[in-house]
Structure 1
Amino acid sequence: MGELGQLDPAKLYDVLVVGGGNAALCAAIAARRDGASVLVVEGASKFYRGGNTRHTRNIRCAHDTATETLTGPYSEEELFQDLLRMTGGKTDEPLARHMIRESKEVLVWLTEQGVRYQPSLGGTLTLGRTNAFFLGGGRAMLNELYRTAERIGIDVVYDTPVTALEIDGGVFKSATALHKGVPHKLRAKNLVAAAGGFESNIEWLKEYWGEAAENFLIRGTPNNRGTVLRMLLDAGVQETGDPTQCHAVAIDARAPKYDGGIITRLDCVVFGIVVNKNAVRFYDEGEDIWPKRYAIWGRLVAQQPDQIAYIVFDASSLELFMPSLFPPITADTIEELAGKLGLDPEVLGKTVSEFNSGVRPGNFNHADLDGCRTEGVTPPKSNWARKIEKAPFYAYPVRPGITFTYLGVRVNLEARMIMNDGSPAENMFAAGEIMAGNVLTKGYAAGIGMTIGSVSGRMAGRGAAKNAHR
């Protein structure tokens, strides 16, 4: 692969891909396989390349039959209905249906690029039928894509953030990128923007969340600051998506500010109760199975005082979920646990007692909606309600962990950007998180981000290559 200092500064590429994650690499590979010359510019270092892809585990795609690693079929219509439920019916339906249809090819296509899969993880995720798990996780998947890129002749440079875009009337002219402290002008016939959202830009988040954003933890790298997104919007590309919406989950409050990744996520909300700093519950912990509802908890915690909450459970649930990197806080009594958490022991004791009194008998089944519920308790718990009574007692402190934001650029069925006047851009395409808000208006389901990235990446890459050869 080329280093920027070794490149001919006068070289005109067919396609410039800005970004270095799954969407960017899928775009680059698709364009290159269609005969285009491609340069990938990644703002992060080689070690941190790939943005959020580094922390992923699986991809949710439609498929007609079971495979060696998928336990059954997952139809296009079922995936679309799942998308409607998570977004409350608000999505670009033609684009969503098109991407879901395209997703059926992606699993095989990724395999052709060297990506391998493994059987799904056990425990509470219940994703064996719907989601394909990457062998070795997201970083291994990403490494395979980079190996393929190198093998087929794609130029890649790292530590090279794009600082300016020259765009005139919906036509991309050039990009300015900083490499080793020196600005370079990069020319290409087409641009594919795949540089992620603005989740690492706390000041931008504050525009919508206020000071609460100071308490947000960023699950990915510090690099996703929305610089390219802002430049595109300022250049007249039409925006889409709600800036207050994002993929935000409850993660261990002891996680680092950046790059904690998936090992700080907590999958145990459904097995206990969640209380805020006032030691009271604030939402139904058993509303739906975890893969479809886990991403609501980041926003819920963000709306609580000081953006902090605590998952409280007992010994009967300790081994039913994948633990965090950090051990749970433990005590022999609820009151002692409250003291360790800095909560009012009397109030937490009352909260647990009232919850326990509302639990109704049922057949507990952690793998499915079991109807084990509470009655006469506000808020209710709709499934997996069991009394918290078996010592020792445990708790995890949690904060909002943002994965990516949903504000982005509008695109059409070719992944081509749409300008403010409604016309398609002549030579600008978008892929991944920077355009996810077209499909994801709110909510999330496990693996859907990788689906959007892979599919839109292929679409953008093929479209850019075709554009270059007109």
Structure 2
Amino acid sequence: MTRPYDVLVIGGGNAALCAAISARRAGASVLVLEAAPKFYRGGNTRHTRNMRCAHDAATEILTGPYTEEEFWQDLLLVTGGQTDEELARFMIHESKDILNWIVEQGVRWQPSLGGTLSLGRTNSFFLGGGRAMLNALYLTAEKLGVEIAYDAEVTDLQIEDGMFLGATLKQPIGGATDIRASVLVAAAGGFEANIEWLKEYWGAAADNFLIRGTPYNRGSILKMLLAKGVREIGDPTQCHAVAIDGRAPKFDGGIITRHDSVVFGIVVNKHAERFYDEGEDIWPKRYAIWGRLVAAQPDQIAYIIFDSSVVTSFMPSLFPPIGAPTIAELAAKLELDPASLEKTVINFNAAVQPGTFDHTILDDCRTEGITPAKTHWARKIDAPPYLAYPVRPGITFTYLGTRVNKQSRIVMKDGKPSANMFAAGEIMAGNVLGKGYAAGIGMTIGSVFGRVAGREAAKNAKN
């Protein structure tokens, strides 16, 4: 690694590999530095399972068209308009080609999933999940001649006047090494695993957060870039955060700790009180709001309450539900006040109106006369045994990042594009995601901007 490279890619997930492959296919020599050990390579990509891409017609794996305009409207909805329209529309347009390009890199799709996920038309699922997708990308990169180093922690970046000059690498064996490259692609993720950094914005509540993905995304590369003149983008308190099982590990619990059962019951806090509309929208557009909602509750804990009539209606989690023959006994097991939970359930049941239940649409099953209302999929909780999942905020990735343009080139604080630095993936996701989330869009950001960053980095190196 003492020889100079055309392109240095820092990171080891989807965005980094797409950038490395793209740059190598454009003729550049490429070095990838992954801070994690080889077994844990790939950051949060290991835990993914699908990607959201625009397409004009049904395919072998997708049940119908998902136009660029519909994708844009979905993004507007979940972000509340907090997105860079030029970059977002560019990403959406480029995503149409990613469906085929990613297959050319060895990734395989599986037939679409139906049921309560409601993603069969919009999202493509990786055969074998995120780890299989990663393994395919790594295999392709290695066959193309991309060099990859693991346990490779970058401790310093040499940047002067918007130009990347080199990096300092630390490995368990061999000590510090100076890396020289003509161009930098930063694809090292967010800072969600850095609890102390999260506490700067969230306070003590961050101690109760669970990190769904890798413990290696500590934001060190992001912090270095921002300290050396790179313009930041995004609200540091915004992130992709979902409600996950409160019994999950602190780090790396992954997708099997997530709960898709909210719309089939009610959610209460430690005082046994409901605090938000559980039926606001179709799950892929609204599941990611629940992490922030739970984070705002006392002690950052909540409980999904449902009955035995719906246990086969949603994808099961790793952890079994907690059950009891009565609401009062369930409350005792959850260490909630029995009288309070009984009152909440009784009031909810009394407010449920007659309707035709259909989890695939915004149906007419709703409540009247209670606050907050449940606007869709409201059914009485009256079929024992009664069940519950404890949930906490599960942080996937943060939105504070580096500003980029359509070439994925990093923008400096003075507004000028950097001379030779690019970014892709979570580290620049805040350009597209000001807040909120739609299922699969993180992989879209990584793949699209990774491919662009690699292509443009190779072009830059040649010049």
How many residue pairs match? The answer is 462
Counterpart in 2 of 1:28?
20
1:122 aligns with 2:114: yes
Counterpart in 2 of 1:266?
259
CA distance in structure 1 between the aligned counterparts of 2:362 and 2:133, rounded to whole angstroms: 32
CA distance in structure 2 between the aligned counterparts of 1:190 and 1:388, rounded to whole angstroms: 59
Equivalent AA in structure 2 for residue 434 of structure 1: I
Root-mean-square deviation over aligned CA pairs: 0.6
CA distance in structure 1 between the aligned counterparts of 2:215 and 2:120, rounded to whole angstroms: 32
1:37 aligns with 2:38: no
Consecutive unaligned residues of structure 2, counting only runs of 5 or more, are none
3-state SS of paired residue (1:124): helix
| Contact 2:241 2:290 survives alignment (8 Å) | yes
3-state SS of paired residue (2:278): coil
CA distance in structure 2 between the aligned counterparts of 1:438 and 1:18, rounded to whole angstroms: 19
Equivalent AA in structure 1 for residue 228 of structure 2: A
Equivalent AA in structure 2 for residue 385 of structure 1: A
1:123 Cα deviation from its structure 2 partner: 2.4
CA distance in structure 2 between the aligned counterparts of 1:341 and 1:106, rounded to whole angstroms: 46
1:196 aligns with 2:196: no
| Pairs within 5 Å for 1:185-264 | 185-264=178-257
CA distance in structure 1 between the aligned counterparts of 2:113 and 2:64, rounded to whole angstroms: 15
1:135 to 118, 122, 127: 127
2:347 to 354, 358, 371: 354
Per-residue CA deviation, residues 333-359 of structure 1 (Å, 9 max, x unaligned), is 000000000000000000000000000
CA distance in structure 2 between the aligned counterparts of 1:429 and 1:219, rounded to whole angstroms: 27
CA distance in structure 2 between the aligned counterparts of 1:215 and 1:376, rounded to whole angstroms: 34
Equivalent AA in structure 2 for residue 80 of structure 1: W
Counterpart in 2 of 1:169?
161
Equivalent AA in structure 2 for residue 43 of structure 1: A
Length-normalised TM-score, structure 2: 0.99
1:121 Cα deviation from its structure 2 partner: 2.3
Counterpart in 2 of 1:70?
62
1:120 Cα deviation from its structure 2 partner: 2.2
1:122 Cα deviation from its structure 2 partner: 2.9
Q: Percent of aligned pairs with the same residue?
A: 73
Deviates more, 1:273-282 or 1:362-371: 362-371
CA distance in structure 1 between the aligned counterparts of 2:294 and 2:45, rounded to whole angstroms: 24
3-state SS of paired residue (1:222): coil
1:180 Cα deviation from its structure 2 partner: 1.9
Consecutive unaligned residues of structure 1, counting only runs of 5 or more, are 1-6
1:305 aligns with 2:309: no
Stretches (4+) displaced over 4 A: none
2:143 to 151, 170, 174: 151
1:277 aligns with 2:270: yes
Per-residue CA deviation, residues 155-214 of structure 1 (Å, 9 max, x unaligned), is 001001111000000000001111125111111000000000000000000011000000
1:414 to 407, 415, 419: 407
3-state SS of paired residue (2:115): coil
| Contact 2:63 2:112 survives alignment (8 Å) | no
3-state SS of paired residue (2:183): strand
CA distance in structure 2 between the aligned counterparts of 1:119 and 1:394, rounded to whole angstroms: 32
3-state SS of paired residue (1:30): helix
CA distance in structure 2 between the aligned counterparts of 1:365 and 1:209, rounded to whole angstroms: 38
| Contact 2:282 2:361 survives alignment (8 Å) | yes
3-state SS of paired residue (1:47): helix
Counterpart in 1 of 2:89?
97
CA distance in structure 1 between the aligned counterparts of 2:360 and 2:65, rounded to whole angstroms: 19
Deviates more, 1:35-44 or 1:88-97: 88-97
CA distance in structure 2 between the aligned counterparts of 1:284 and 1:298, rounded to whole angstroms: 14
CA distance in structure 2 between the aligned counterparts of 1:154 and 1:225, rounded to whole angstroms: 25
3-state SS of paired residue (1:167): strand
1:17 Cα deviation from its structure 2 partner: 0.1
2:373 to 370, 374, 380: 380
3-state SS of paired residue (2:76): helix
Counterpart in 2 of 1:434?
427
Equivalent AA in structure 2 for residue 68 of structure 1: E
Per-residue CA deviation, residues 42-78 of structure 1 (Å, 9 max, x unaligned), is 0001100001100000000001111100011111111
3-state SS of paired residue (1:421): coil
Per-residue CA deviation, residues 364-394 of structure 1 (Å, 9 max, x unaligned), is 1122211210000110001000000000100
Counterpart in 1 of 2:49?
57
1:151 Cα deviation from its structure 2 partner: 0.5
CA distance in structure 2 between the aligned counterparts of 1:254 and 1:75, rounded to whole angstroms: 39
CA distance in structure 1 between the aligned counterparts of 2:275 and 2:241, rounded to whole angstroms: 17
